[in-house]
Structure 1
Amino acid sequence: MLRMTRKRRSSPLGGPARTSRLAAAALTLAFGVGGSLALDAGAVAHAHAQPRQGGTTLVDETFTGATAPEFTGVGSACLTGAPTAALPGPGDHPLGGCPVGVGPVPPDDAAPHGYLRLTDASNDQSGAALYNHALPASEGLDVTFDQWQYGTTTGQIAPADGISFFLVDGETQLTRPGAFGGSLGYAQKLPDDDPTAEFQPGVDNGYLGVGLDVLGNYFGDWEHRGNGCPPGERSPAGTAFHVPAPGSNMVTLRGPGNGIEGYCFLTATTSNFSTTGPWPSTLPGSLQGPTASVSGDPVQAEADLEPSRRRVHVVITPAPDPVVTVSIDFNDGTGFHQVLSTPAPTPVPPTYKFGFAGSTGLFTDVHLIRNVVVRTERPLPRLNLVKQVRQPLPGDLTAGSQVPYDFVVTNAGGTTIENPAVDDPKITGISCPVTTLAPDQTVTCTATYTVTAADVAHGSIDNTAVATGTSGGGTVTSPPSSESVPIERAPGIEVEKQVETPGPYSVGQPVTYRYTVRNTGGAELTDVAVHDDHVTGISCESTTLAPAEEPGDSTTCTGTYTITAADGTAGSVTNTATATGTADGETVTSPETYQTIPVGQPHLTLRKRVVSSGPYQVGSTVRYAYDVTNTGSTTLHDVHVADDRVATVTCDATTLAPGQSTTCHGSYQITRADIDVCTGDGSGYGTSGHGTDDGTVECRITNIAQAAGTDPQGNTIASEPASATVTVEAEPECPLRPGYGEPDDKGCDRRTRHGGH
């Protein structure tokens, strides 16, 4: 249930940090100075595809203006439509103006002719734009956007990385991209495959990463891309470092991942899926554009950039058999070409969030985005609701845990909906951020639910919600949306112990114990065993226990103990047992259980405890409990407790059969005399006091009790004494002061202020 994030560091070839000297030298050898990299466009014919229409528009952002308030920038991402501004610091930030760019970048302050600039053409740049608002996934997704990659300042050696479009589970807070460089802001990586480097995680709870990969490292699993993926989901290029990069001018898809696990290779636009290269691209055009210079005039800049524009179309059809299709218009007059079509990862999340990322490193290019339109693949209902739990959850759920919910509400109709609201019979206080919902607008309402004991017992939180509103004087209601949140109980085990052999008990007698062991947690337990400090050779009917919510979650174990002469002398034998099991490789141990049986003679035991809570001072009442147990073999009458400070002690029962216990009760009020004894009478402190820096004294008041009863022959049977101590903080009659002198007005000699411990 828990979803973790990890720290990120710098990157490798093509990423925000410079490549290792070894990699740089290898690239120089491969390309030479002023050399060129040939791109194989492939000879496979592709069907033309046009963007589908008919779905519900969810996002429409041109990025041509000075603001894009629904998006969050990371790193070098900025808007050329806004006035020139300094580069923001690390972390995420609102999208604003760009710093003066390196290379042929569009002019700044150019609204309404601006662009989302992920990077300029300088080295070691990385930028991302994130849409951290959940969008419904039930009717599929249809995304189009324009991208530009052009303008390298590193000559013909190699282009920079590429651009990624990625989707994440909409329950996630999308506040950062994944690793840059060859991972294109989506996948994980271990920089330069250096085992001493820090692993950089991929984007949190990634679902699909579309790599529009000009350089070609996103195609390969070098740097531990796809870490933890099975052999059938690995790149054909393997994990080796390739010079040049193994998949240049390639579209590569990577699947779900989180942290440093997953982001497995799905497919790519290559004609070779064997493990022996090269791996030529089948794209019918180049992802990198030819633009080498851009005018400072915003309108002329658009014309200069037009030859480098590529329009990308990504479609994911709805579950249960989703298919992802990628089509590209290379702006060469031939229209869209479907370049990839493959089954999409399952299960499909209930909602999506998305982002774009691009980076430079040793090599450079400008990376731009414009005209992002996100629609559903099929139309949504007039009013649509998706209910989901916001991740990450606050650890293991228990009674009292707070669970945050999001309710994603979309107006898929042609008229405004007034007073949108969400009704959930289990969750109250649902708050929606708007009072009117415009056509094609999606908002997220929120609420927090407190887990109950009944939810824990049930093993999940199950409920259904509907969204409502009014339009044209009528009520609009969404289809219901249900959510079931499993409550995975932590591993747990408990043991109950019983004596099978009836008494009375005597020295040399074998006594059989029965132990009932239960799985009280949510994980299977193996290697179940019972450990007893007196009994050896305990055997169990079963050593594997199913989780508590399944049948067969308990077993019976037995063992035998022979009473010794020492037990006879003591008058009883007390043994303590625990049960253990293994869950997910970890040992689970039960609380201790103990049992006392009488052996051969009368015997009484006493345990005394303080049951009131401090702090205590003069006048406070201290309440005591006395646990009295007949640990002998005969019934005792007239059971009572005497306490050297408590005048009256009352017992719940005064007759105890062998093995029976009772609790007695008494109280004592702290007096000034107790403090005087503690602090002394002016000539120094008593041994039970301790002076503190502020002049007060911590006095420890101890009282001693003893239990007694009468056996059938009239003999008095007494327990060993038991004591209890409380600490009282008080100011003595003669508070601490340094120095000596005459008695003060209280008759306190100043010598007593010296701190005499």
Structure 2
Amino acid sequence: MTERIHTPPRAARRVLAVAVSLAALAVLAIPALQTPSASAADLTFPYDNAFDTGQGGVLSGDARIVDGRLRLTDDSRGQAGSWSTADTFPSTLGLDIEFEYAMYSDDPRAGADGLLVYLADGAAEPGIGGTGAALGYACRPESTQGQGPCDTAGIPGGFAAIALDRYGNFSLPINDSGPGVTPDAVVVRGSGDGTDGYRFVANAVAPGRVETDGPTTRTVRVQLLPGDDGELAVSVQLEAGGGMRTVLDGVPLHGAGQAALPPTLRLGFAGATGAHVNVHEIDSLSVRQPADLRVEHDLPRVAAGEHVRYSVTASNVGRNASDPSPLTVDVPDALHDVTWACAASDGGACSAADGTGDVGVDLALDRGASATVTIEGTLDPGATGELVSVATIAPAPHLADADETDNTSRATAVVTASAQLETDKSVEPATGVRPGDHVEYQVVARNRGPATARDVSVVDDLPAALVFVDSADACAAAGQRVTCGDGTDLAPGEERAFRFRALLGEDYRGDGSDVVNVATAASPTDPDGGDPSPGVAIEVVDPDAPGDATVPPGPSAPAASVPERSTAPAADRGGTSNPRGGALAYTGTDDLGIVAAIGGVLVAAGAGCWWVARRRLRADRHEDPAGD
């Protein structure tokens, strides 16, 4: 007999199916509702922490937030405290870490022990190392305070630590690695985990010791630069004497006993006390990725008034790309009508292709990329002294430049002046001059540019027949040399006229062809001297030339006079005129003198005939008295 199987009603089956479906959806939704955990590269840069609260990090041991600072230890014996970022970051980025610290105590005994900044494997849990000599990072042999094999564990997954060691025990041979006690030192130790490792790498005595003046802070800068083969190098600068002093430079972390660089890292601080104490505090943490940008430029030789063209080149010689990288160029004020053009290469880009005035452009610079800005303008004609151009490149906000010494380029060039002067000259009157007359000369200095002509003057050497008389325009004579000048500067295209009077000597005899003089303008900024004026001559009337010529009149008729020779200058016939020539310009009546002479002869002959006829008439009357 077959057993009958009972099944739920159809409606019940439908309800059951819906319930199962809802349950499945609920299970699938649970992961979506959960908060995601921290993972590699979650820590974004720039990273800044003023430690007003403990958010964003993990506190371990005796560490806590006090009055807006991360306090790693109080000035109490046997403490150790640690703080690390909750998030991790890729180890290939490198880091540029800057922070302030305070290390102080009211205890009159020597303070101890010290504090440090460290990196740990991002896969390891945050933790704390040993007290005393371990500074909260390394492992420690409990019985010897730091010498020999460890029996107290250090920070989990420690990769490197850079310490400010007041007491000096961080340089002890912990795990048989270290030179011995070195007080007031900057000390580097390498990787370790549990009671293994934490090898000594390097140390150097700190400038100005490591303690602070009470709670007043000092600044530390640590750079961790990755290499192409997974290595890491560390450099340390410490504030001392009013500036940052380099203590360690490019110390390699790789070597025997050093763990390979893990995929991700975690950043932290630790500090410890032992039998001696100090308060250890951290403040104003700033973390960036390292970059290395540089800018270079030079100025060409420049002359006032001329066109100037120069180039500025910015490049990325570091490991990380930088975008945006602001480039500015303070163009010299003496350059006018300034234009610029930007061109990038090798993976670079310019945010603007061109512009005017001072340069301000953002550059995208991949590793090895560069960009060149070409600047052009006209230098002021009056420019003097030195031309200065200043170019500055800055990394993107999430980066810090590892070498800031080449982020600014200052280029200079001495301005040379190059004016070109020319000279004009004229005289009034130029003709009809007699010995003893005055003449007035005008000399004109004109600047053809391109630079301003400074302190313009004019020199005119007078011929021996002339004597300087006076001037209303700053001209004076020393012997026959007349010098005109009043300190005038002439911009390109400007001119300055000077006038002075001279006397032609009364004993001069000649036509003036030998009374010719040339003026020359000069300026300290005209390197080859001004161009001289053309020679200027005067036409002189000969005072010894014949004047009037008359014929005595007859007894009853007026005398006929010969027209007086004109003293007006001869007309210009294309050469030097002879003052003894005809006074009239050519009018077609050149023979009037001859006609006048013939007329005079005829008049004289007529008068003679009249006189002869009268004598004969008187003789006839005496011979015939009856005729009376």
Which band: TM-score by shorter chain? 0.3 to 0.5
TM-score normalised by length of structure 2: 0.37
TM-score by length of 1: 0.31
